[in-house]
Amino acid sequence: MKLSFPQQLIVTLGITILLAWYPLKVWTNERFITSAQIGSVIMTVNALFGYLAIEKSFHKSTNDFFKYVFGGMALRLLFLAIFLLIMIKVFHSDIVALLSTMFFYYLVFTILEIVYIQKKIASQK
B/e letters for 33-42, b = 16+ CB within 10 Å, e = fewer, are: bebbebbbeb
CA angle (88 as vertex; 44, 83 as ends), nearest 5: 40
pLDDT tens digits for 81-101?
999 999 999 999 999 999 999
100 and 43 Cβ atoms separated by less than 8 Å: no
Query: Tell me, what's the pLDDT at 125?
Result: 73
CA-only gyration radius of the chain, Å: 16
| Burial grade of 45 (CB within 10 A; 0-12, 13-18, 19 or more) | middle
Give the model confidence (pLDDT) of 48-90 as tens digits.
999 999 999 999 999 999 999 999 999 999 999 999 999 999 9
> Residues 63, 68, 72, 75: what is their CA dihedral angle, to the nearest 10 degrees?
70
Residues 32, 23: Cα–Cα separation, whole Å: 12
Of 31, 45, 117, 112, the C-alpha closest to 80 is 45
Report pLDDT for 110.
Answer: 95
